[in-house]
A and B are shown apart, each in its own frame.
Chain A
Amino acid sequence: MTKQLTLSIDGVQVTVPEGTLVVDAAKMAGIDIPVFCYHPKMEPAGNCRMCLVEVGRPVIDRATGQAVMENGQPKIQFMPKLETACTNTVSEGMVVLTQTDKVTEGRKGTLEFLLTSHPLDCPICDKGGECPLQNLTVEHGPGKSRFLYDEKQHLAKHVPLGELIWLDRERCIQCARCIRFQDEIVGEAVLGFEARGRMTQIVSLSEPGFDSAFSGNTSDICPVGALTTADFRFGARPWELKASASVCSQCPVGCNTTFNTRREAKAGGEIVIKRAMPRQNEEVNEIWMCDKGRFAYHYAESAQRLVKPTIRQAKASWTDAFELVTQTFEASKSDVVVLASGRLSNEDLFNLKSLADGLGGKSILYTDMGGGDLTAQVGVGQGTDLGKLGKGDAILVVASDLYEEAPVWYLRVKQAADRGATLIVANSRHTKLERFAKYAIRYANGDEVKTVADLQGDGRIAQEFANAQNAVVFFGSDGLGLSGSADLAAACAKLLKDSNHVGKANNGLIGVWQRANDQGAWEMGFRPEADLASALKNKIVYIVGADPAGDDPALALALKGARFIVAQDILETLTTHMADVVLPAQAYTEREGTFTSGERRVQRFYAAVPARGETKADFAIAGEIGRRLGLNTENGSAMVTFDRLAVAVNDFAGLNYNKLAEVKSQWPIVGRGDLYYGGTTYENKQGLGVQLSTAAERGETVSLPEVRADSVLRPREDQLLAVPVTKLYDRGQTVASAELLAQRIGEPTVNLHPEAAKRLGVGAGGRVSLAFNGLNAEALVKIDDTISAGVVLVPRSMGLAVREPVSVQVLGLAEAKVS
């Protein structure tokens, strides 16, 4: 336990741990010390001078080491000048004064200097209304400036740092929060200062500009309107926006978010989402979110939205559609196959599962990754917080590129490594996280299980992992298909169990799933099917929240062999075009529900905008079909569905909507009136969610499957082994419609080893054709010398249907443009 110190701030006695900064101590006591450059998540910089206060310390007699007393009180020696509260740590008996004339004068002077060249164009500034500089100037600033108006510097107001973030040079006060965020928190130093003195400017040091998946956060913590997002540019004024809590649906991290909505004339008077902002949850996303979550929410507003049910592509009423679906299901009960994806909420999946079970049919999870049954047994224990991992703990990331697949986990794992946790990154190629790893292991594709098995040996890495106080394993599907990832999961589970890192907080297995609620789908009893194509043949297929036909031509072919297809989705897809009945569903922004994150935290999301057209929520549609079939499924309320789910599913026992909405006080304090402190992140008032307990934690018997030896697929002669990898920005339905991200999505690009490229006669930027399983596709080439020469990396959801490692014929098509 750290030593506690007591100091007095404005006469209030405050007791805080040793090493606390004066500015934080004041915040804990509810006293405001204004800051611009200081941020509670970052190291102090002390360059804005806004936090100047009077600090006095007790005089210590050098001879005795005791405090010198004066009139029965310790004698306090004040420094002759003001001190910065953000760089001074507290000491016993310290006296801090924040409201004296000297301090007031100091603040006035600082603001007068900061405003010398500030354009004061608050009326057109996107930050206006939630701007720390604006607020603090009103509160502490001088009414008038002594500087000459004509001597103001006029700088560029419209500088794109990247295509997502715009810089207004005049507004910048050189606090360096953005630079420090990228350096310290993300570990990607893509921003920097250029020139000196009055000429100091922020510049992007990367190509393409501001090349980071976390760039949006800099606009949250920017204390002025210098950094604004292209997405929200002139979108609305902050005070006109309504806020509704949500959970990001782009990846299994489950970042807590807030959607800001407003009625808009451009959208024909509809209420639309104007921006997505992070919402504090210190155990999930802290106060951050990634750019994919921030900018890719537009898919729900796409013109391809389904708004009315159709029967054989002709518009129909809900009654007719329900009638037809019910009749078809009734007629061939056990032939019904429900194919659902992890894009759906727990309630949807529960009702779909109930429906499938009630009919005696099959329920299949649409995914290329296995192992969800193991995370339920040896997953991370209740109370797990990656933010608590540090010295003495170990984190293993295997077959996953966290930066691309789950950016906020990358951020948190990187920070755990910064705090001293042993980070082991095992992959077949270079990933961004490797730079922070204590041990980076490169294996050949196909050796994943063996690599993990080797970590149980006597090696140095194995010993360090086994002896770690706490250990967390992230496993993914980088370069793996369904069976490969399931095998890997089994190996990881065994590693954790044998080293006794299961059944407690901060220990266990985390799956880096392909969709937000894959974990929830596993919990509800959905299981993936190894041979999906033959499972669909000659069946009545009910496809929900998935586009198998669009993802893989082989599955499109398989669907042609299905007897009857019911497709339920929010957007028009190839699958809905093939369907006999199309049921339009509501996007998750239009309804409420819960997601289960990769860390098995169940979190609630709320409706932000009204539902489109005649759409219904997925759980309500499934519930209604169930009712018509005589099953007792809920068709109206998400809350009631959840209550039933909590009774039926063992791991959810005792949970209800109210429990999920419970909050507790979090540090740092953000999102209240004091935007200067934490930025414009929202305070969490709508629920932190509840983490599910694991079987290992409850003392139940954990039965792990036998770890299978890899059946390594080797490419045929003159062919390459194509392995699927996940990209952050792909052409998936939930990303592609974000116009802003188009540049980052780009064309399908495969990675080739320089030697392989040379053999094919292509260079970087050249084109190749890939032929496999009777399919043909073209892609651009990126040279990557960290992969093996016999491998080609194929991104998922980019129009190339590589769902598991497969041997492909690659042919060079064009000469290299750049070497």
Chain B
Amino acid sequence: MRFVEPIWELSRGLARTFASLFEKPVTVQYPEEKREVRPRFRGRHVLKRYENGLEKCIGCSLCAAACPADAIFVEASENTDEKRFSPGERYASTYEINMLRCIYCGFCEDACPTEAIVLGDNYELSFTDRRQAIYPKEMLLEAVPDTAMITPRKVEPGVYKRSVPEMKDPQD
């Protein structure tokens, strides 16, 4: 008994090791190969646009207020129909996120009244100095599919009067 048990245990372990040689590997060849992220993954932020290209962000600064790491800085200005960024009266003239400070908690997403800021699936952030870690609005904004949708742009007067859209409770 004194001798048999250790040998038995050892060979059981080795058998497990040997068996795993024939299993499908769990590792992926990053960065050539990338694993898809989960639906609720919280990566680098994106500032969303409406379908017509107008920015969803209205510069309300609630994300900055909710941010526990004080990573967001917002400054607002006034929209005009001649030079419109977002619907309603107010838009973010400055929007910066310090990615070194951000802890990717997603509170900004929760606080946003227009669903403008969304934590995306990009987790590959790299910078060579601290200043680069501050992402300005141009880097955060979604790209427009069409040059006619660029903001700021001239719009028909009196159409985009509401800042906060009517929204439903989130589903997922």
Residue of B nearest to A120 (CB): B164
How many Å from the CB of A167 to the closest CB on chain B?
Answer: 13
Which residues on the A side are within 8 Å of B59 (C-beta)? 124, 234
Residues of chain B within 8 A of A158, CB atoms compared: 89
Report if A123 contacts B (CB, 8 A).
yes
Indicate whether B93 reaches chain A with its CB closer than 8 angstroms.
yes
B54 contacts chain A at the CB level, 8 A cutoff: no
Contact B166 A124 (CB under 8 A): no
Given A158-B89, A234-B59, A237-B65, do A123 and B164 touch, yes or no (CB 8 Å)? yes
Query: Which residues 111-136 of A sit at the B interface, judged by CB distance below 8 A?
Result: 120-121, 123-124, 128
Complex-state Cα separation, A237 to B111, whole angstroms? 15
Q: Are B93 and A124 in contact (CB under 8 A)?
A: no
Contact with A234, one of B77, B113, B162, B164 (Cβ below 8 angstroms): B77
Contacts of B96 on A, CB cut-off 8 Å? Answer: 265
Residue of A nearest to B73 (CB): A265
Which residues of A (231-267) have their CB < 8 Å from a CB of B?
Answer: 233-237, 239-240, 264-266
Cα(A154)–Cα(B158), bound, Å: 13
A123, A149, A235: the one contacting B163 at CB < 8 Å is A123
Q: Which residues of B contact A234 (CB under 8 A)?
A: 59, 76-78, 89-90
A123: which of B62, B77, B161 is its contact (CB, 8 Å)? B62
- Chain B residue contacts of A149, Cβ below 8 A: 166
**Which chain A residues lie closer than 8 Å to B90 at the CB level?**
124, 234
Q: Any chain B CB within 8 A of the CB of A157?
A: yes
Q: Quick check: B64 and A123 within 8 Å, CB to CB?
A: no
Bound-state Cα–Cα, A124 to B162, Å: 10
Q: Which one of B77, B90, B94 has the greatest number of beta carbons of chain A within 10 Å?
A: B90
- Which chain B residues lie closer than 8 Å to A236 at the CB level? 61, 75-76
* Residues in chain A near residue B162, CB distance under 8 A: 121
Q: How far is the CB of B63 from chain A (nearest CB, A)?
A: 10
Nearest opposing residue in chain A for B111, CB measure: A123
Q: Which 6 residue pairs are nearest across A and B when measured between Cβ atoms?
A: A123-B60, A265-B94, A124-B90, A234-B76, A123-B113, A124-B163
- The answer on a CB contact under 8 Å between A266 and B93 is yes
Which residues of B from 125 to 151 have beta carbons under 8 Å from A? none
Q: Is the CB of B89 within 8 A of A157?
A: yes
Contact with B along A168-194 (1 / 0, CB 8 A): 000000000000000000000000000
Interface centre among A158, A234, A265, A266 (most CB of B within 10 A): A234
Question: Chain B contact residues (Cβ within 8 angstroms of A): what range?
Answer: 20 to 34
Q: Which residues of A contact B75 (CB under 8 A)?
A: 236, 264-266
Of the candidates A123, A157, A233, the one whose C-beta lies within 8 Å of that of B58 is: A123
* Residue among A123, A233, A240, A265 facing the most chain B CB atoms (10 A cut-off): A123
Nearest B residue to A168 via CB reads B89
CB proximity of A244 to chain B, nearest CB, Å: 20
A237: chain B residues at CB < 8 Å are 60-61, 65
Complex: chain B residue closest to A263, CB-CB: B73
Interface string of B67-87 (1 = CB under 8 A from A): 000000101111000000000
B88 close to chain A: CB less than 8 A = yes
User: What 1/0 flags go to A130-160 for Cβ under 8 Å of B?
Assistant: 0000000000000000000100001001100
For the complex, give the distance between the alpha carbons of A149 and B88 in Å.
18
User: What are 15 A-B contacts with C-beta separation under 8 Å?
Assistant: A121-B163, A123-B60, A124-B59, A124-B76, A124-B88, A124-B89, A124-B163, A128-B60, A149-B166, A157-B89, A158-B89, A237-B61, A264-B75, A266-B75, A266-B94
- Whether A121 touches B65, Cβ cut-off 8 Å, given contacts A157-B161, A233-B78, A266-B75, is no
Q: State the CA gap A233–B93 with chains docked (Å).
A: 14
Q: Which residues of B contact A240 (CB under 8 A)?
A: 61, 64-65
B-contact 0/1 string along A599-634, CB 8 Å cutoff: 000000000000000000000000000000000000
Residues of A within 8 A of B93 (CB): 265-266
Chain A residue nearest to B60 (CB atoms) is A123
CB distance from A262 to the nearest CB of B (A): 9
Q: Is the CB of A121 within 8 A of B164?
A: yes
Residue contact A121 to B166, C-beta cutoff 8 Å = no
Interface centre among A120, A128, A149, A265 (most CB of B within 10 A): A265
Q: Which residues of B contact A239 (CB under 8 A)?
A: 65
Question: Which residues of A lie under 8 Å from residue B65 when comparing CB positions?
Answer: 237, 239-240
Per the bound structure, the CA–CA distance linking A239 and B74 in Å amounts to 13
1/0 contact trace for B89-103 toward A, CB 8 Å? 110011010000000
Measured in the bound complex, the distance between the Cα atoms of B157 and A610 in whole Å is 42
Of chain A, the residue at the smallest CB distance from B77 is A234
> Please, how many angstroms separate the alpha-carbon atoms of A121 and B75 in the complex?
17
Q: Which of B59, B75, B88, B163 has the most chain A CB atoms closer than 10 A to its own CB?
A: B75
Q: Considering the chains assembled together, what is the distance between the CA atoms of A265 and B161 in angstroms?
A: 27
CB neighbours of A233 from chain B (8 A): 78
**Could you say which residues of chain B place their CB within 8 Å of the CB of A266?**
75, 93-94
- In angstroms, Cα B88 to Cα A235, docked, is 16
A237 to B75, CA, bound (A): 9
Determine the distance from Cα of A382 to Cα of B88 in the docked complex, in whole angstroms. 54
A745-785 vs B, Cβ < 8 Å mask (1 yes, 0 no): 00000000000000000000000000000000000000000
Shortest Cβ gap from A145 to chain B (Å): 14
Nearest chain B residue, comparing its CB with the CB of A128: B60
User: Can you add 12 more A-B contacts, CB < 8 Å, to A237-B65, A265-B94, A265-B96?
Assistant: A121-B162, A121-B164, A124-B90, A128-B60, A234-B76, A234-B78, A235-B76, A236-B75, A236-B76, A237-B60, A264-B75, A265-B93
Asked if residues A124 and B73 are in contact (CB atoms below 8 Å), the reply is no
Q: Give the residues from 634 to 648 in chain A that come closer than 8 angstroms, CB to CB, to chain B.
A: none
Task: List the A residue with the shortest CB-CB distance to B65.
Answer: A239
Q: Which residue of A lies closest to B161 (CB)?
A: A157
**A-chain residues with CB within 8 Å of residue B62 when the two chains form the complex:** 123
Taking CB as reference atom, which chain B residue is nearest A123? B60
Interface residues of B in 29-71 (CB under 8 A from A): 58-62, 64-65
Closest residue of A by beta carbon distance from B78:
A234
Q: In the complex the two chains form, what is the Cα distance from A265 to B60 in whole Å?
A: 16
Q: Residue-by-residue, is A205-242 near B (CB-CB < 8 Å gives 1, otherwise 0)?
A: 00000000000000000000000000001111101100
Whole-angstrom distance from the CB of B100 to the nearest CB of chain A? 18
* B77/A121 in contact, CB under 8 A: no
Task: Judge whether A124 and B58 touch: CB under 8 Å.
Answer: yes
Looking at the assembled complex, report how far the CB atom of A221 sits from the nearest CB atom of chain B, in whole angstroms: 23
Closest chain B residue to A156, Cβ basis? B161
- With a CB–CB cut-off of 8 A, which chain B residues contact A157? 89, 161
Residue of A121, A158, A239 ringed by the most chain B CB atoms within 10 A: A121
Assembled-state Cα–Cα distance A236/B74 (Å): 9
Q: Looking at the complex, which one of A124, A235, A264 makes contact with B60 (CB distance below 8 Å)?
A: A124
Render B149-172 as a binary contact track against A, CB cut-off 8 A, 1 for contact.
Answer: 000000000000111101000000
* Bound: A128/B60 CA distance, A: 10
CA distance A234 to B94 in the complex (A): 12
Q: Which residue of chain B has its CB nearest to the CB of A235?
A: B76
With a CB–CB cut-off of 8 A, which chain A residues contact B64?
240
B25 to chain A, nearest CB (A): 49
Min CB distance, A771 to chain B, in Å?
A: 46
A154 contact set on B, CB distance < 8 A: 161
- B-contact 0/1 string along A364-377, CB 8 Å cutoff: 00000000000000
B161 touches A124 (CB 8 A): no
Query: Measured between C-beta atoms, what is the minimum distance from B131 to chain A in Å?
Result: 12
CB distance from A29 to the nearest CB of B (A): 33
B111 to chain A, nearest CB (A): 9
Cβ of A229 to closest chain B Cβ, rounded Å: 13
In the assembled complex, the CB of B50 is this many whole angstroms from the nearest CB of chain A, namely 16
> What distance in Å separates the Cβ of B168 from its nearest Cβ neighbour in chain A?
12
Contact among A120, A121, A264, A265 for B88, CB-based, below 8 A: A121
A266 nearest CB neighbor, chain B only: B75
A residues near B60, Cβ cutoff 8 Å:
123-124, 128, 237
CB contacts (< 8 Å) of A123 on chain B: these are 58, 60, 62, 113-114, 163-164
Contacts of B113 in A (CB 8 A): 123
Q: What is the distance, in angstroms, from B5's C-beta to the closest C-beta of chain A?
A: 66
Q: What is the distance, in angstroms, from B15's C-beta to the closest C-beta of chain A?
A: 62
Task: Report the separation of the CA atoms of residues A240 and B65 in the bound assembly, to the nearest whole angstrom.
Answer: 8
Q: How far is the CA of A701 from the CA of B53 in the complex (A)?
A: 80
